[in-house]
Homo-oligomer: A and B are copies of this chain.
């Protein structure tokens, strides 16, 4: 065995399992269910899924694909294009897959990221035939060391009939020791999760492999796909300032101190940019307890603002990836990667009292949030972990720009066209216009505040007109149901949510 492979594949019992990717892919049969590693483009199994796509050129089959979250390396795209997916869960973010989902050509189950492992553990979903898991190494005693994400690897390996490991030589060997894998016993036989601090180590550095179950090991050599986040812009900088203003008021009110509370920040450009804004804040010794660790987290570590970050995956831009992975030792005492069941567990989120920052697609005048469905019907990416965090955080903050498509869409609407987070779970809404603090407010106290502080000026009158008409209907949550979705309908028909003053004069 080549030396650089031997250094990674250290369990002698598994030395004879190395196979080419296409051979491993050939074991997968029509109708099977696969559990793939991968969480927001990081640590995804790469070679076997691509070999499977290749096989689809000459053969017709479909499989169910369960993952941690979105995959990188165009795998979601290629699998979707190849038409080999019957059902996919719990999250995706690929334009081609999105299209196939919305055309009804594949099934997509949009799940809370913390729920997947419980469903798999309880045998509620279809049985997993193959777990296909990327590894940095397999230790002498059979511990699989994950790479840049942990995701659902543990539970997939535990419940799968057989395991295929992809040892990726391109992933830095220094990842070993970074992970903290803690497995939950079945419900009802479970002890409290002993994690009480962001940097608590409660598990082991890898996932125990049953050598009998390891059917094949594929050697790969390709980096993760870099993230596609766009850099902060003027508006996201303004949003970050609003958020910082809010946090300052919390400190002034004695509800937080200068170290804030552990921060969670959702995937995507806006959340990343808002987090980036903390670089120029006076807050110090910050902690991050999140699912994805994006560029901003490492910038905050580099600047000394963040003292520790716990996540489930590291998803970086190309440039940042080079900088971080060539200096991983520098970060090792400041980082932990955990299974998504732990990073997103309600028990931990509530215990630590997180400040949770997630992106909204649209928000309504009462504070309900749509994170997933464009005009109520078309899936964007999925709810991801936002529901795990929003429900249980100390501060549940949603950020969105007040308009989209040059103002043709208002992100503040009378009634969100799909509800992912109910008004019970939304504390603060931030747009580039300002923020609305909804905590302790009854529904009737919310619309004017949200409209005044968060809506774009071009939509304020139209929003107020709706609310005033709704007030005539009355009730705890006034609405004119016939017109609740008229903005969306207008957009679908005329390409804009703006009624050109027709509405307010009618």
Chain A residues within 8 Å of B, Cβ to Cβ: 87, 89, 101-104, 107-112, 115, 118-119, 122-126, 186-188, 190-194, 196, 253-255, 261-262, 345-347, 350-353, 368, 373, 375-379, 383, 387, 391-392, 394, 417-422, 424, 439-445, 470, 473-479, 481-482, 484-486, 488-489, 492
Contact = CB atoms under 8 A, between A and B. Distances in A.
Contact of A424 (B111, B353, B424, B474): B111
Nearest to A185: B351
A352 B190 CA distance: 7
A442 B107 contact: yes
Give the secondary structure class of A's interface: loop
Contact of A102 (B111, B387, B476): B476
A478 B377 contact: yes
Nearest to A256: B122
Nearest to A259: B188
B255 A107 contact: no
Contacts of A119: 439-440
Contact of A108 (B122, B368, B442, B488): B442
Contacts of A103: 474
The 6 tightest CB contacts between A and B, nearest first, are: A187-B353, A377-B475, A192-B192, A379-B476, A419-B419, A107-B442
B346 A378 contact: no
16 contacts: A87-B442, A102-B476, A107-B444, A109-B442, A110-B424, A124-B439, A190-B351, A190-B353, A192-B194, A347-B351, A376-B479, A377-B476, A383-B424, A387-B391, A391-B391, A419-B419
Contact of A476 (B353, B378, B441): B378
A380 B279 CA distance: 46
A109 B419 CA distance: 19
A187 B481 contact: no
A253 to B, nearest CB: 7
A172 to B, nearest CB: 32
A357 to B, nearest CB: 17
Nearest to A186: B353
Contact of A112 (B87, B420, B424, B484): B424
A124 B196 CA distance: 23
A387 to B, nearest CB: 6
A310 to B, nearest CB: 14
A353 B444 CA distance: 36
